[in-house]
Amino acid sequence: EGLDFVDSDSRVDLLENKVVLCVPENADKGIDSFDSLAEHLKAGDILFCMGNSDVPVGQYTLKIFNYYGIDETAVANKLTYGNNVKEVASQVSEGAVDCGIIYATDAHSAGLTVVDSATAEMCGQVIYPAAVLKGDKEDAAQDFLAYLQTDAAMTVFESVGFSAA
């Protein structure tokens, strides 16, 4: 009681961020999809960066591993880790690894080449909800939420890597 701050009728799934596979500039390993990533990991001929298992991007990566039947411990000598998605993006950007899994928005901001997007079947979806909080300024908040759902706002969101949920 007293902890229900959200107007639940206003809640919407606003944005989706895709889980993507990125390669460094001038990549030459032929990694052009999650299918080819799985083949290369199983063959042991690449170095791959993923987020630690205690961060969301690492958890999505482990779901992708599971989808492809990849045992993390079996390919451990071909993995590097990042404490967060920005560290993974940096390793890919610097060419320290052959590829990595990050979010579309991080790939966009880092200027990385995205070669594939994970499907919901592979790892679920990354959805960002929005809602109005109860209080004195609910009308203004409702107006802002309505604006966030316009084509103009979506154009801005899409320009930085988000998609409509």
29-49 confidence digits (pLDDT tens): 999 999 999 999 999 999 999
pLDDT at 138: 87
* Alpha-carbon gap, residue 58 to 62, rounded angstroms: 6
* Alpha-carbon gap, residue 74 to 70, rounded angstroms: 8
pLDDT at 2: 62
pLDDT at 56: 96
100-127 confidence digits (pLDDT tens): 999 999 999 999 999 999 999 999 999 9
pLDDT at residue 155 greater than cutoff 60: yes
Provide the pLDDT confidence category of residue 4 given band limits of 50, 70 and 90. confident
Cα four-point dihedral sign 123, 37, 59, 128:
negative
pLDDT at 135: 86
Provide the pLDDT confidence category of residue 136 given band limits of 50, 70 and 90. confident
pLDDT at 27: 87
DSSP for 120-159? HHHH--EEEEE-PBSSTTHHHHHHHHHHHTSHHHHHHHHH
Please check whether residue 92 is in contact with residue 47, taking contact to mean a CB–CB distance below 8 angstroms: no
- Residues 6 or more apart whose Cβ sits within 8 Å of residue 45: 29
Mean pLDDT, the chain, rounded, equals 95
How many percent of the chain have pLDDT more than 70?
A: 98
pLDDT at 48: 98
* Alpha-carbon gap, residue 11 to 1, rounded angstroms: 20
pLDDT at residue 140 greater than cutoff 80: yes
* Alpha-carbon gap, residue 113 to 108, rounded angstroms: 8
User: pTM to 2 decimals?
Assistant: 0.91
pLDDT at residue 1 greater than cutoff 70: no
